Amino acid sequence: MTNIAEIQSQIKASSARSVVEAALTKARDNENYHALLSFTDSRALERADKVDSGQITGRLAGVPFVVKDNFLAFGAPTTAASHMLESFQAPLQATAIEKLEAEGAICIGKANLDAFAHGGSTENSAFGPTKNAFDMSRVAGGSSGGSAVVTALHIVPFALGSDTGGSIRQPASFNGVVGVKPTYGTVSRYGVVAMASSTDTIGTFATSAADAEFIMSIISGRDARDMTTLPDFFVPQAIRPAQKIGLIKEFMSDEVDPEVRARTNEYAERLRAEGHVVEEVSLPIVQYTLAMYYIIVPAEVSSNLARYDGIRYGHRAAAPTSLGDLYGRSRDEGFVAENKRRIMIGSYVLSSGFFDAYYQQAQKARTLLIRAFNELFESYDVLLGPVTPTPAFRLGENTSDPIKMYLADIMTVPASLAGIPAISVPAGVSQAGLPIGVQLIGQRRSDANLLSLARSLEEK
């Protein structure tokens, strides 16, 4: 495993420059995975030299990392894996990147994703899919597939992603790394291309819970530029013994792959062995969460993507004949099919006459979901379940059936809609050698507890 501590000792032994160069070389050697859309060589090496000369210091001085290409960053375009923003150069950086850079970390490239983070396989990238780190015929997962794969391939010790309905947890699970979706509002969304404002979260991939915990402690915190950020609360903590953990029954149905259930049960056993209590709990409302999610999120998507109109930046159609033609063709050419699908669903559910029937109903159901979670958290510290119904599926397997693709999100969207923290932790592999992760879900602001729990098990 390549963790942050090992990278730091390599930097001490050689130089930040050599470590960054090695990461860039390894990234290029693995280009067949198509995990990265761009490299930020010159800025990265410049910063590495400054680390070596002592001009840049910090707790992550010289440590290379990668960000999902929906983060505004210097040194390469911010494309959101779309033709719309193919040549968009950001004039500023996301808060999360600024915080990492303030600690001396060095961004070496931008990771592939489903265009505008719409998808669960990275197959919706306008620039081609990312391949699974364990099986190149399978998907990386998504939408933060590139970030998961660069971490799994040990190109960098950590990578940033965004999670709106599972976009960190699912690819983390598919590629055998740790993925953190924090409490809504833990990390500033400033400078990250918005997907769904009420569920977008910024989190990290790492090869260990310990590293993820460390990165979260750096990137989290109140940001005056994002009004939805919470006051600082994330502090790494020691493992709390004898916790009560609820294994979500509805996530362990027959429809879930037997190997996924087996790994989840084994993880439950390991928790018991550590002195925690694991009991089956029921959360019946989860059967409605996909319906809620695919109303609320497309509604917000249709709104957040309205700014891409070809007027001020981004793709503009050639030789428009009218304003309507300019809008229509710029958006048609700039968005992928899945973007358009979500814009259309979102526009529909927000339309006059449908708003109450769809959007308002979904929001009411969402309140019931939050209430159901809160009731469970009166008795349980943590909830446990799989991340996805199956290990990574084959490239192209679900692309012709959007509903089937959406169903893969069934276990990740509840935490997103409830705004509560959930992490994906490696729990072994299938017989075919595909990674399987489990999900730990906690109440709002219990992020550090989830990570300490995962860390206590990986220390064994």
Partner 1 sequence: MVTDETLAKYDMTIGIECHVQLATNTKLFSGANNDARDQSPNSVVSPIDFGLPGMLPVLNRGAVDLAIKAGKALESTIAHVSRFDRKHYFYPDLPKGYQTTQMYQPIIGPGIVHVPLDGEIIDVHIDHAHMEEDAGKLTHYGDYSLVDLNRAGTPLIEIVSEPDIHSPQAAKAYATELYYLMTYADVTRGDLYQGNMRFDVNLSVALKGATELGTRSEVKNLNSFRSVERAAEYEFRRQVERLERGERIIQETRGWDDATQKTASQRSKEDAQDYRYMPDADIPPIVLTDEEITRIQATVPPLPAEYRTQWLSLELDQSVVDSLLANRSYAVLISEIQRNAGDSIAKRVAHWFSSALGHDETETGIIASNFTPEGFIELATMVESNELSSTASKEIFVELLTSDQTPRQIAESKNLLQVSDEGAIAAIVDEVLADPASAQAVAAIKQGNDKVIGFLVGQIMKKSAGKANPALAQRLIRERLQ
The residues that are catalytic are 68, 143, 167
Site string for partner 1, 430-459 (x = CB under 8 A): ------------------------------
Q: Which is nearer to partner 1, 260 or 297 (CB)?
A: 297
Using CB under 8 A as the binding rule, whether residue 416 contacts partner 1 is answered as no
Query: Stretches 5-13, 57-65, 90-98, 135-143: which one binds partner 1 (CB under 8 A)?
Result: 90-98
Q: Which is nearer to partner 1, 359 or 393 (CB)?
A: 359
Task: Scan residues 11-50 and list those touching partner 1 (CB under 8 A).
Answer: none
Nearest approach in angstroms of CB 162 to partner 1 is: 11
Using CB under 8 A as the binding rule, whether residue 94 contacts partner 1 is answered as yes
Using CB under 8 A as the binding rule, whether residue 164 contacts partner 1 is answered as no
Using CB under 8 A as the binding rule, whether residue 191 contacts partner 1 is answered as yes
Task: Give burial (CB, 10 Å; 0-12/13-18/19+) of 238.
Answer: exposed
Using CB under 8 A as the binding rule, whether residue 357 contacts partner 1 is answered as no
Using CB under 8 A as the binding rule, whether residue 197 contacts partner 1 is answered as yes
Query: Stretches 84-92, 203-211, 239-247, 254-262: which one binds partner 1 (CB under 8 A)?
Result: 84-92
Q: Which is nearer to partner 1, 33 or 116 (CB)?
A: 116
Nearest approach in angstroms of CB 72 to partner 1 is: 5
Using CB under 8 A as the binding rule, whether residue 224 contacts partner 1 is answered as yes
Using CB under 8 A as the binding rule, whether residue 88 contacts partner 1 is answered as yes
Query: Stretches 66-74, 246-254, 284-292, 369-377: which one binds partner 1 (CB under 8 A)?
Result: 66-74
- How many residues interact with partner 1 (rule CB under 8 A)? 45
Site string for partner 1, 305-334 (x = CB under 8 A): xxxxx-xxx---------x---x-------
Nearest approach in angstroms of CB 227 to partner 1 is: 6
Using CB under 8 A as the binding rule, whether residue 92 contacts partner 1 is answered as yes
Torsion of CA 406, 408, 414, 420, to 10 degrees: -110
Using CB under 8 A as the binding rule, whether residue 355 contacts partner 1 is answered as yes
Using CB under 8 A as the binding rule, whether residue 4 contacts partner 1 is answered as no
Among 67, 105, 153, 192, binds partner 1 (CB under 8 A): 192
Residues in contact with partner 1 by the rule CB under 8 A: 70-72, 78, 80, 85, 88, 90-92, 94, 189-194, 196-198, 224-228, 299-300, 302-303, 305-309, 311-313, 323, 327, 347, 350-352, 355, 359
